[in-house]
Structure 1
Amino acid sequence: MGILANTVSISQFRVVGEKPAGDLFDWAGEQLARNRFHAIDRGSEELSIGWVQLDDSQDGSFEIASSYRRDHWLCFSLRRDQRKVPARLLKEHYRQAEEEFLAKNPGLQRVPKQKKEELREAVKGALLARTLPTPSVYDVIWDTETGLLSFTSLGKAQIEMFGDLFKQTFDGLRLVAYHPYARAEAVIPDALKPALAEANQAGTDTVLDLIEKNCWLGEDFLVWLLDQTLHASAEFSISRPGPAVAGEGFVAYLNDRLVISGASESGVQKLVVSGPQDRFSEACTALRSGKSIQEAVLHFEKGEDAWKLNLKGQQFHLAGFKCPAVQLEKDDLTDPEMEREALFYERMHLLQTGLQLFDSLLASFLEQRLAPDWEQFQSAISTRLGED
């Protein structure tokens, strides 16, 4: 689903590198147009990848700034069209092509190697020309004030494809994953940064090392929130900047689904706990045996509004991020373009608020996790969960 849908999955990145000396938006529009998507539905090309407008996946012109700029956001989409010929169909048609070639050349017992390659390419090309490409579209929202970029896919292949095209398009810039350690650095006050650096278990500053060696961030966070859900009020206050007012209260808790895993003699065991939970007894039993929570569904409530997301603890990817439904008043006099802009701004307000709640919750956890008495607090959590 796209960024304007009420439910979306997003991975986030920092945009780093040297920005152009002139106007960023003018430069970005030129670069997007140079790397625009080119349709292949009338030809036989196998693959086409490029940028299109957020509001129109058929249009890659970017001639008007309003087509890709919304206030301080750069908005566009990655489109990938690919033709695929089923392997079984290709094999059958290739076999027929070989039989026809041998029938026309009775002196040959088998098809020469070079001819085989020619036949295979000819058969594949003919089948591709008769096959419609399948489109995939992924939205991109780049906050030029914070340098934070959101991409509406969690797939490894899609993220790699996006990162490569982004680097190719915006010379001098690149994307760095907004992983748990980076997010932790961003949400804590300066006074806690020495404690976070001391807790850092990575031996290098590479993204992969920071993610793999600091799995404790996601695991401890989710266990802490499970304890808050079961044994505390689960009430928190907004401490991070965003649309909502600082100090405003909200509720955060776990429910619906947990994914728990741990090593055993037979390998890694994975347990999925689904459905509304009361005391999370199955999850607590698994945690007592040394397993850890890898992902969970988080709920946020502020006033009458509610958000829900499935947090993947190792990388802090946000799957199934559901915001309050956008309610826009419509009438026959409403201009469609103004309506699309209003939808975008309302949607971004809700998304940003949800992220603000998540970051405030993470900051509350880190305040306890990085405190000198964390070991005693962690022991108390284990005792409480052991009683459930």
Structure 2
Amino acid sequence: MGILANTVSLCQFRVVGEKPSGDLFDWAGERLAANRFQSIDRGSEELSVGWVQLDDPQQAGFERPNSYRRDHWLCFSLRRDQRKVPARLLKEHYERAEAEFLQNNPGLKRVPKQKKEELREAVKASLLARTLPTPAVYDAVWDTESGLVSFTSLGSKQIELFCDLFKQTFEGLRLVAFHPYARAGAVIPDQLRPALETANRAETDTVSDLMEKNAWLGEDFLLWLLDQTLHASGEFAVSRPGPAVEGEGFVAYLNDRLVISGASESGVQKLVLSGPQDRFSEACTALLAGKTLQEAVIYLEKGEDVWKLSLKAPAFHFAGLRAPGVQLEKDDLTDPDLEREALFFERMHLLQSGLQLFDSLLAHFLEQRLAPEWPESQKAIMQRLQQANEPASRQPH
């Protein structure tokens, strides 16, 4: 689903590198136009990748600033069209071509190697020309004030393709994943920064090392939130900048789906718990056995507004982020361009609000996780999980 849909999956990146000395938006428009999507509908090309307008994936023109600019946001979409010929169909047509070649050349018992390659390419080209390309579109929004880019796919191939094309398009700039350790560094106050650096288990500054060695960030965060869900009010206060007012209250809790994993004799074992959770008994049993939370559905409620997302702990990817619905008043006289802009701004307001609540929740967790008393706090959490896991008849009244 695209960025304008009520439910979307998001991963985020920081833009690093040297920006142009002139106007960033004019430069970006020129670069997007130079790397625009080229249609292959009427040809036989196998693949085409490029940028299209976020509002309309059929349009790849970036001459007008309002086709890619919304206030301080740069907006564009990655479009990838590909023709695919089923392997079985390709094999059948190739075997038929080989048979026809041998029939026309009775002096040969087998097709020469070079001819085989020619036949294979000819058959593939013929089938591709008769096959319509399948389009795939992924939205991107670049917040030029925060330096964050949000991308609407969590697939590793799509992310790699997006990062490569971004680097090719915007020369001198590249994207770095906004991974858990980076996000933690962005939400904590300055006085906690030494504690975060001490807790850093990575030996290098590479993204892979920072993510792999600091897996404890996502795992401990979900463990802490599970404890908050079971044994606390779940009430927090907004502490990060954004649309919501600082100090405004909100509620956060886990429910619906948990993914727990851990090592076993047969390898890594994954446990998926789906449906509304009551006492999280199965989850408590698995966590007490040494397994870790890898993914969970988080609810964030502020007033009548509700955000729901599935947090993938290793990378802090947001799967199925559902924000409150966008409601716009319109009539027959509404200008379509103004309507699209209004939809975008309202949608971004709601998405930013949800991410602001998440970052405030993360900051609250880090205040406890980076405190010297954390070992005692973690021990107390495990004791409460043990109590929650005991049969009701054995629990104290």
Distance, in Å, in 2 between the alignment partners of 1:120 and 1:208 is 40
Deviating above 4 A after TM superposition, structure 1's stretches of 4 or more consecutive aligned residues are none
| Offset at residue 58 of structure 1 (A) | 1.2
Tell me what 1:355 maps to: 355
Amino acid at match of 1:83: R
Q: Distance in 1 between matches of 2:47 and 2:386?
A: 54
Give the residue type in structure 1 aligned to 2:261. Answer: S
Q: For the residues of structure 1 that align with 2:126 and 2:371, how far apart are their CA atoms?
A: 66
Q: Verify: 1:304 aligned to 2:297, yes or no.
A: no
1:204 alignment partner in structure 2: 204
After superposition, residues 366-377 of structure 1 pair within 5 angstroms as 366-377=366-377
Aligned length: 388
> Does the alignment pair 1:182 with 2:188?
no
Stretches of structure 2 that go unaligned for 5 or more consecutive residues are 389-397
Provide, for residues 258-307 of structure 1, a one-character-per-residue CA deviation record: whole Å limited to 9, x for no partner.
00000011111100010001110010000011000000000000000000
- Aligned equivalent of 2:323: 323
Partner amino acid, structure 2, of 1:351: L
Shift of 1:130: 0.1
Q: For 1:135-186, what per-residue CA distance to the aligned partner results, in whole angstroms no more than 9, with x for missing partners?
A: 0000000000010000000000000000110000000000000000000000
> Shift of residue 371 of structure 1?
0.5
Question: What amino acid maps onto 1:45 in structure 2?
Answer: E
CA distance in 2, matches of 1:386, 1:148: 41
Distance in 1 (alpha carbons) for counterparts of 2:129 and 2:174: 36
Corresponding position: 1:224 with 2:224: yes
55-64 vs 250-259, greater mean Cα deviation: 55-64
Aligned match of 1:20:
20
Which residue is equivalent to 2:333?
333
Please show how residues 39-188 of structure 1 align to structure 2 within 5 Å: 39-188=39-188
Structure-1 residue corresponding to 2:379: 379
Measure the CA separation in 1 of the matches of 2:266 and 2:43: 51
Unaligned runs of 5+ in 1: none
Q: Are positions 1:284 and 2:271 aligned together?
A: no
Measure, in 2, the Cα distance between the counterparts of 1:265 and 1:45: 48
Give the secondary structure class of the aligned counterpart of 1:66: helix
CA deviations on 1:46-99 (whole Å, 9 max, x unpaired) are 000000000111111100000000000000000000000000000000000000
Aligned partner of residue 294 in structure 1, secondary structure: strand
Q: Residue deviations 1:7-51, cap 9 Å, x none?
A: 000110000000000000000000000000000010000000000
1:100 deviates by: 0.3
Q: Say which SS state the counterpart of residue 25 (structure 1) adopts.
A: helix
Letter of the structure 1 residue corresponding to residue 238 of structure 2 = I
Percent of aligned pairs with the same amino acid = 79
Query: For 2:163 and 2:337, how far apart are their aligned partners in 1?
Result: 30
TM-score (norm 1): 1.00
Tell me the alpha carbon deviations over residues 117-147 of structure 1, each in whole angstroms, 9 at most, x when there is no partner: 0000000000000000000000000000010
Instruction: Please tell me whether residue 255 in structure 1 is matched to residue 294 in structure 2.
Output: no
Distance 2:112 2:265 in 1: 53
* Rounded Cα–Cα distance in structure 2 between residues aligned with 1:366 and 1:285: 25
Q: Secondary structure at the match of 1:158?
A: helix
Q: Distance in 1 between matches of 2:56 and 2:299?
A: 32
Give the whole-Å Cα distance in 2 for the aligned partners of 1:309 and 1:253: 11
- Counterpart CA distance in 2 for 1:3 and 1:238 is 24
Please report how far the alpha carbon of residue 320 of structure 1 lies from its aligned counterpart in structure 2 after TM superposition.
Answer: 0.1
Q: Deviations over 1:173-232 (max 9, x none)?
A: 000000000000000000000000000000000000000000000000000000000000
Q: Which residue of 2 aligns with 1:239?
A: 239
State the secondary structure of the residue aligned to 2:38: coil
Partners in 2 of 1:117 and 1:373 — Cα distance?
A: 68
Could you tell me how far apart the structure 2 residues matched to 1:274 and 1:288 are?
19
Residue 333 of structure 1 deviates from its aligned partner by 1.1
The one-letter amino acid of 2:67's match is: S
Q: TM-score, normalised by structure 2?
A: 0.97
- CA offsets 1:361-387 (integer angstroms, 9 cap, x no match): 000000000001000010000000111
2:10 alignment partner, SS class: strand
Aligned equivalent of 2:392: none
What are the Cα deviations for residues 295-326 of structure 1, in whole angstroms up to 9, with x where unaligned?
A: 00000000000000000000000000000000
Opposite residue 132 of structure 1, the aligned amino acid is: L
Secondary structure, counterpart of 2:8 in structure 1: strand
Shift of 1:356: 0.1
